Amino acid sequence: MKRYLVTGAAGFIGANFLKYLLKKYEEDIYVVVLDKLTYAGNLGTIKDEIADSRVRFVRGDIRNAELVANIFAETDIDYVVNFAAESHVDRSIANPQLFLETNILGTQNMLDCARKAWYRGKDSEGKPLYAEGKKFLQVSTDEVYG
């Protein structure tokens, strides 16, 4: 069974991805949805999906290292798809620090938790070894890539 961590899945793009994922992989899948449910998240959009036994919903912030590390530890995540981000240019002008904290530091926290969870030691040359088949897909907004 493949285990996914999908962040920001109550947002427009994340919700559509979650619907697609569950429809495409009718069996052999488990999805943990991590969403802070800010102005951009709408739990009603994914109410049917989170009622599915293949889905676990966690209300939380990608900046919370303990929470994210616990999700990795409890679920042995194979794939991360990170949609969680602050968006809308006008909001970034009104509160740029929040954008830095979520879009940059939150993403860094997700990457660090994945790295720690997937670390398997060092090879004979002292280079780090990581679990095979694990993937991290970063999806973001123009405020990050812009």
Across the beta sheet with 29-35, the strand order is 55-59, 29-35, 2-7, 79-82, 135-138
C-alpha to C-alpha distance for 142 and 145, rounded to whole angstroms:
5
In a structure prediction context, what are the per-residue pLDDT tens digits for the chain, which is 146 residues long?
Answer: 999 999 999 988 999 999 999 999 988 999 999 999 987 778 999 999 999 999 999 999 999 999 999 999 999 999 999 987 766 655 666 666 666 667 778 889 999 999 999 999 999 999 999 999 999 998 876 655 55
Give the SS3 label for residue 25. Answer: coil
Domain count, the chain: 1
- pLDDT recorded at residue 141: 65
Residue 110: which of 142, 134, 145 has the closest Cα? Answer: 134
- pLDDT recorded at residue 93: 63
CATH of the domain at 118: 3.40.50.720
- Residue 84, CB half-sphere, CA atoms under 13 Å: how many? 32
- pLDDT recorded at residue 98: 66
Q: Positive or negative CA dihedral for 104, 59, 116, 84?
A: negative
- pLDDT recorded at residue 75: 96
Q: What are phi and psi of 57, to 5 degrees?
A: -100, 130
What is the model's pTM?
Answer: 0.89
- Residue 41, CB half-sphere, CA atoms under 13 Å: how many? 23
Q: Domain range for residue 82? A: 2-145
